[in-house]
């Protein structure tokens, strides 16, 4: 079976390092550095077979990066399942992208990513609030009184208005939370909302020295909204949402 080199992240390092048998794939592959000048890629040996995007594999990828984060002030995460055919290929990549990577490392120095997902606790309560709005009540009453031939159009109209109000409520709730957290971060990214219950799915770039302050503000929000919202706080992790390296072999980025 052909062997390749699996890439996890890029760091500032001029010495050879070995981080132990923690490589992806359940083979106890050693994770180590491969460098060019004072720049290094953290890698492990692997087969050239593409890894399935699964929770297990993603966690294995992220755990290696988390270990590196514990020892280095700046870490640039590489896209999941990036595999090179040889050590020489990686050295060439580091050489060709040296200045871009060094600039990215400088910009991410002492930075971490923190994630926050916010959900409504009880959707039934939310829909009760919407049902109590006058124009929705009027539409529901009209629907009850209307003839069978009109019901379909009325139902579509009611459903659209409920959806629009739900979106507005979601945005108001999200903005109230962001109003508190936005001034406490360097940058933030709003990610895709999944399902009716989710209000906010956001990643925040934070200076490590301000992480405790950010934690405290999230905790305050958690207490304020504990009867209404559920906050899922994640991190610290590498800045996946702010620097994701999609490395191209043999060309300059």
Q: Does residue 32 belong to any structural domain of this protein?
A: yes
Bridging pattern class, strands 18-20 and 111-120: unpaired
If one counts the domains in the chain, the total is 2
Task: Identify the band that residue 136 occupies on the pLDDT scale cut at 50, 70 and 90.
Answer: low
Please state the pTM of the whole predicted model. Answer: 0.81
Average of pLDDT values for 245-250? 56
Task: Check pLDDT > 70 for residue 149.
Answer: no
Q: Does one domain contain both 120 and 63?
A: no
Q: Does one domain contain both 55 and 154?
A: no
Q: Does residue 247 belong to any structural domain of this protein?
A: no
Task: Check pLDDT > 70 for residue 137.
Answer: no
pLDDT of 187-221, one tens digit each?
A: 999 999 998 899 999 999 999 999 999 999 999 99
- pLDDT value for 163: 77
Q: Does residue 249 belong to any structural domain of this protein?
A: no
Could you say which of 78, 109, 140 is where a domain stops?
109
Could you say which of 109, 142, 162 is where a domain stops?
109
Domain with 30 in it: 3-109
Task: Check pLDDT > 60 for residue 141.
Answer: no
Bridging pattern class, strands 39-47 and 31-36: antiparallel
Task: Check pLDDT > 90 for residue 11.
Answer: yes
Could you say which of 55, 88, 109 is where a domain stops?
109
Q: Does residue 40 belong to any structural domain of this protein?
A: yes
Greater pLDDT, 65 or 139: 65
């Amino acid at each position: 079976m052909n062997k390749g080199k699996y890439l996890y992240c890029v760091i500032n390092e001029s010495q050879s390092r070995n981080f132990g048998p923690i490589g992806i794939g359940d083979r106890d592959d050693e994770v180590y550095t491969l460098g060019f000048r004072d720049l290094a890629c953290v890698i492990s040996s692997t087969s050239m077979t593409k890894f399935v995007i699964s929770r297990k594999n993603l966690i294995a990828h992220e755990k290696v990066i988390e270990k590196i984060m514990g020892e280095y002030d700046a870490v640039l995460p590489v896209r999941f399942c990036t595999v090179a055919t040889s050590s020489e290929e990686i050295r060439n990549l580091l050489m060709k992208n040296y200045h871009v990577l060094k600039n990215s490392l400088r910009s991410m120095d002492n930075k971490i990513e923190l994630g926050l997902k916010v959900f409504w606790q009880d959707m039934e309560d939310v829909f009760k609030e919407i049902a109590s709005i006058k124009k929705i009540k009027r539409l529901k009453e009209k629907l009850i009184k209307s003839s069978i031939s009109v019901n379909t159009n009325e139902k579509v109209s009611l459903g659209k208005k409920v959806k629009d109000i739900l979106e507005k409520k979601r945005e108001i709730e999200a903005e109230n939370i962001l109003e508190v957290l936005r001034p406490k971060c360097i940058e933030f990214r709003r990610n895709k909302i999944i399902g009716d219950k989710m209000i906010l799915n956001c990643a925040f770039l934070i200076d490590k020295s301000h992480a405790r302050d950010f934690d405290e503000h999230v905790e305050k929000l958690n207490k304020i909204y504990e009867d209404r919202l559920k906050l899922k706080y994640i991190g610290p992790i590498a800045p996946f949402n702010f620097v994701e390296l999609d490395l191209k072999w043999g060309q300059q980025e």
